[in-house]
Structure 1
């Protein structure tokens, strides 16, 4: 694909985000686009943000469900980046007027105390590098109308990431069985249940995959950066006036209030 098309679609994404309007799927308009093309578009969007003064503070992992991977015809997750202005804290409200069609997911976030430079990083090395973990609500939002996305669409659009909300409590990872961590999302229309094993069998496995992938790409995860390891439960829609509680059993309860 041509660099001109990458630039065109990156500009379209930036404009859609600025105006909070949806666009038709890129994959439908340009069926020749592949995953490499989508990451090339994502990188141009990210470069624009960095050139505009935004600071990269971490990464998010998507498509950690095997069922969703099979649905989209892929055999590994995808990833996007986190910038400092995407962070919300517990007292912050989600301002929906600046978003297109937001949804929320409950995840485990890992923060690292050293750079993860090795393409052959061992699982033991990953464990030794974790500083702490924290429950997180990720607010995802697609520029594609009605969430009619393929893998190409979500990758180009920063893996559909918009904002993330951190809990105030942090936790020592030693002795924690992350696969068995449980989450209940309390919404006005009912509860949604999830478990850590939904993330590639274990949120640690998802983080391990990303650490090796980013080292391979020459952009390794750095000390102090945050990694969102993937949704523990199905995402839930967000509407103005919603108050949605994410109960990470035995850890913390985070409340998302939308305006």
Structure 2
């Protein structure tokens, strides 16, 4: 009897902690409306609504529910010192991504489906089995597939980069747009040890012109660190990373504005390339 009462009390406490205030729920609903209509919100209209991480993820979780689509995976943001400094943060953050927004290369993205998109070059992992915070980096190497990717961050707020607050970024599913990914292979077949993943370089091209290059070491020193951070974070929040889910682990370089035309990202170490077009 005592255990039953204790469990009921704990359940009520958790429910109360996860309840959104009226203002938080309104923000989630307005984010979802902007997600559907592509009519941007103004950050100033929500001043003081989200002021901490717990609240921000609570809004994000509600936004994800409203999308009414399976979560295909996650994106990890703020994985370099430079991007953390931009958003006044001392740690990464994540956003849930619906399944339809992970698309394989080559593909075409349409301007009508985008708002203010950017391009980031990333390493994408796919869990071959459920992942655990107790997994070492070596175990994550064996339990995943890896692929080249270009993530297309895109916010529901206007004039968002880099002025959007960290907590609004979190609320807005880490400004998730699309993730275009290339050929997936077993991570341990492409890389013989963990350290090799820290030494992958990339080049980003637009209409045949090289824009910049970058390195996987920008992603918390090694993209597997980013994956492990996410697995641990999700587990703490009661939503562990499941087999089949994908993770865009963090950008190798500062983002570029995503204009119309042909885009290409190439990677060394046998990782491959990603191709896509952006059209009206």
SS at 1:46's partner residue?
Answer: helix
**Any conservation in 1 of the 2:217–2:252 contact (CA below 8 Å)?**
yes
**Aligned-pair distance for 1:27?**
8.2
**Any conservation in 2 of the 1:182–1:248 contact (CA below 8 Å)?**
yes
**Any conservation in 1 of the 2:179–2:248 contact (CA below 8 Å)?**
no
SS at 1:81's partner residue?
Answer: strand
Which residue of the partner structure matches residue 175 of structure 1? 192
Instruction: Return the alpha-carbon distance in structure 1 between the equivalents of residues 64 and 28 of structure 2.
Output: 9
Q: Deviations over 1:12-49 (max 9, x none)?
A: 10111111122111686226622221111101001112
4+ residue stretches of structure 1 with deviation over 4 A? none
**Aligned-pair distance for 1:169?**
4.7
Is 2:15 aligned against 1:4? no
Selected match of 1:141 from 154, 171, 180: 154
Which residue of the partner structure matches residue 93 of structure 1? 108
Instruction: Return the alpha-carbon distance in structure 2 between the equivalents of residues 135 and 171 of structure 1.
Output: 12
Instruction: Return the alpha-carbon distance in structure 2 between the equivalents of residues 136 and 213 of structure 1.
Output: 22
Which residue of the partner structure matches residue 208 of structure 1? 228
Q: How does 1:153-192 map to 2 (within 5 A)?
A: 153-173=168-188, 174-175=191-192, 177-188=196-207, 190-192=210-212
SS at 1:30's partner residue?
Answer: coil
Is 2:131 aligned against 1:110? no
SS at 1:136's partner residue?
Answer: strand
The TM-score with structure 2 as length reference comes to: 0.84
Which residue of the partner structure matches residue 91 of structure 2? 76
Instruction: Return the alpha-carbon distance in structure 2 between the equivalents of residues 116 and 171 of structure 1.
Output: 15
Is 2:232 aligned against 1:217? no
**Aligned-pair distance for 1:123?**
2.9
CA RMSD of aligned residues (A): 2.0
**Any conservation in 2 of the 1:105–1:137 contact (CA below 8 Å)?**
yes
**Aligned-pair distance for 1:236?**
1.5
Between Structure 1 and Structure 2, whose CA radius of gyration is higher?
2
Instruction: Return the alpha-carbon distance in structure 1 between the equivalents of residues 29 and 148 of structure 2.
Output: 33
Q: Deviations over 1:32-68 (max 9, x none)?
A: 622221111101001112xx3x111211111101122
Instruction: Return the alpha-carbon distance in structure 2 between the equivalents of residues 209 and 229 of structure 1.
Output: 10
Matched length: 253
**Any conservation in 1 of the 2:24–2:49 contact (CA below 8 Å)?**
no
**Aligned-pair distance for 1:192?**
1.0
**Any conservation in 2 of the 1:135–1:248 contact (CA below 8 Å)?**
yes
Is 2:259 aligned against 1:246? no
The TM-score with structure 1 as length reference comes to: 0.90
